Amino acid sequence: MASSRSSIRELHQQLIRKERSAVEITQQALDRIQALEPTLHSFLQVTADHALEQARRVDARIAAGEDIGLLAGVPIGIKDNLCTKGIPTTCASRILENFVPPYESTVTQKLADAGAVTVGKTNLDEFAMGGSTETSAFALTTNPWDTSRVPGGSSGGSAAAVAAGECVVSLGSDTGGSIRQPASFCGIVGMKPTYGLVSRYGLVAFASSLDQIGPFARSVEDAAILLGAIAGYDPQDSTSLKVAIPDYTQYLTPDLKGKKVGVIEETFGEGLDPAVEKAVQEAIDQLKSLGAEIQEISCPRFRYGIAAYYIIAPSEASANLARYDGVKYGARIPDAENLMDMYTRTRAEGFGTEVKRRIMIGTYALSAGYYDAYYLKAQKVRTLIKQDFEQAFGQVDVLVSPTAPSTAFKAGDKTTDPLSMYLIDLMTIPVNLAGLPGISVPCGFDSQGLPIGLQIIGNVLREDQVLQVAYAYEQATEWHQQTPIVT
């Protein structure tokens, strides 16, 4: 079955010229989902009736002669940790298996207001904790390039759905690399914005000082359009930034003359797959040929990111997940002997292994006598990592590195070794700790035909520079035009 590979702008033109209706576009996406889901398992919930109703509303507006925005009628997938009113939001966890939110997250409301069509809720690692989408309680999402491999995580369903053409764009959340790493594994564009640029209201919290919602797309322009639609101040999120949101597409120019690009030394060397290193070095040469000035930059504390992250993130998770106790919402074991029995058994049966592991690490790190030794020290290291980045951005406009140290690994390869799974986020975690924007763009393939991603990192609120460099690189290469063949 042919998939629609049209961009947001192309779909917009087709709609306003009345070459296709929003219902036709939506039905094509739903047909593709139906054909591919037995293989991919990208979606936990397909919202066909809801999507067609949204599409009909767009068609009615066009018929009435109203102007429609760029996202009107565009099929989109939503990561299943974003609350959607009246539609189950499970976080891929048994504990929220039957939870239907009574309210809408800010970003999904913004997309609905823009006329976007939600085709379904995508699979993820349970509570967004994982790097392969293997910790989901419900399904194992496969990588469209090689279905024996993982799509990355935690936003693996969102990445696989876009890569396979089941939807045009999708939303993910990124706490330590959960948008950029699956984008790299699935050969698409994935962006984590500056912390606070996009409202987290209605995002089920994992680690509140790190979580950020962002777009997946097949092109930098589509990612820029989607980012513009979801960004902006929200009084319902106390960490939301009061800043003007520009039209990000105005920065998409093919010329990099005068741009200073820093290559993070610490992201090369031991542990990096040679094929990834070769592809990223060639991408850096390409940036140079586009007029960018390249220089080596040292971020000496970069390597401590993982150690700091795996104290800070589980500590925040331990606090955030305390609310799942069988009282107000979510699962509750039916035959508890007393309150404590209900708490303990509900949590023991409701949470998966990785979530329990992180709750225990976090609770330990926050416990009396250990708080100073672990959590406080990790926050100090976080400050040092931020300072490294500040120093770097005193010299260059953007920084580049590989997105992930390897290409997609086989399902099951790392499930028994949590540490090797954690190391997959080596390059992405420091960006979250510093609250910076970062993007992954396709920059090549290894010998097995698996995609490789280039990470571009910007200073706080410099999405414009990140997108410009990403766009110039994308337009000068053909990697983003390659698509997997899924049957």
Segment 274-306, tens digit of pLDDT: 999 999 999 999 999 999 999 999 999 999 999
Asked about 79 being catalytic, the answer comes back as yes
Pair 107, 97: CB distance under 8 Å: no
Does residue 464 contact residue 248 with C-beta atoms inside 8 Å?
yes
**Residue 5: its pLDDT value, please?**
83
Query: Helices 22-40 & 8-16, crossing angle to 10 degrees?
Result: 140
Question: Tens digit of pLDDT for each residue in 382-419?
Answer: 999 999 999 999 999 999 999 999 999 999 999 888 88
Q: Kindly report, residue by residue over 332-368, the tens digit of the pLDDT.
A: 999 999 999 999 999 999 999 999 999 999 999 999 8
Nearest by Cα to 164 from 103, 119, 106? 119
Question: ∠110-254-401 over CA atoms, to 5°?
Answer: 80
- pLDDT for 3 equals 44
One-letter amino acid of 75? P
Q: Catalytic: which of 4, 6, 21, 79?
A: 79
Q: Looking at 21, 105, 154, 401, which residue is catalytic? A: 154
Mean local confidence (pLDDT), 190-218:
97
pLDDT of the residue at 1: 38
Residues 6+ apart with CB under 8 A from 249: 221, 224, 225, 228
**More confident site: 355 or 4:** 355
- Report d(CA 297, CA 267) in Å as an integer: 10
Comparing 16-20, 328-332, 449-453, the range with the smallest average pLDDT is: 328-332
Bridge partners of 170, per DSSP, are 77, 216
Which pLDDT value is given to residue 305?
97
What is the overall mean pLDDT for the chain?
A: 96
Measured from the Cβ of residue 339, the count of other Cβ atoms closer than 10 Å reads: 11
- Above pLDDT 90, what percent of the chain? 94
Instruction: Compute φ and ψ for 99, nearest 5 degrees.
Output: -80, 125
Residue 257 known to be catalytic: no
CATH of region 8-253, choose from 3.40.50.300, 3.90.1300.10, 3.40.50.2300, 1.10.10.60: 3.90.1300.10
Please give the Cα distance from 323 to 206 (Å, whole number). Answer: 12
Q: What is the pLDDT of residues 98-150, one digit of tens each?
A: 999 999 999 999 999 999 999 999 999 999 999 999 999 999 999 999 999 99
**With contact defined as beta carbons under 8 Å apart, do 66 and 76 qualify?**
no
Cis peptide before 184 (omega within 30 of 0): no
Alpha-carbon distances of 211 from 115, 127, 161, 179, 447, rounded to whole Å: 26, 12, 21, 11, 34
Question: What's the whole-number mean pLDDT along residues 220-230?
Answer: 98
Distance of alpha carbon 182 from alpha carbon 186, whole angstroms: 6
**Amino acid code (one letter) for 282:** E
- Asked about 440 being catalytic, the answer comes back as no
Q: What distance in Å separates the CA atoms of residue 178 and residue 20, rounded to the nearest whole number?
A: 34
User: What is the tens place of the pLDDT at every residue in 300-319?
Assistant: 999 999 999 999 999 999 99
Catalytic residue from among 173, 178, 184, 440: 178
Residue 173 β-bridge partners: 213
Cβ-based burial of 38 (10 A; exposed 0-12, middle 13-18, buried ≥19): exposed
Residue 7 has pLDDT above 80, yes or no: yes
Q: Average pLDDT of 49-55?
A: 98
pLDDT confidence bin for 4, thresholds 50/70/90: low
Domain boundaries, the chain: 8-253
- Beta strands 169-174 and 212-217, pairing class: antiparallel
Percent of the chain at pLDDT > 70 equals 99
**Residue 486: predicted pLDDT:** 84
- pLDDT at site 2: 41
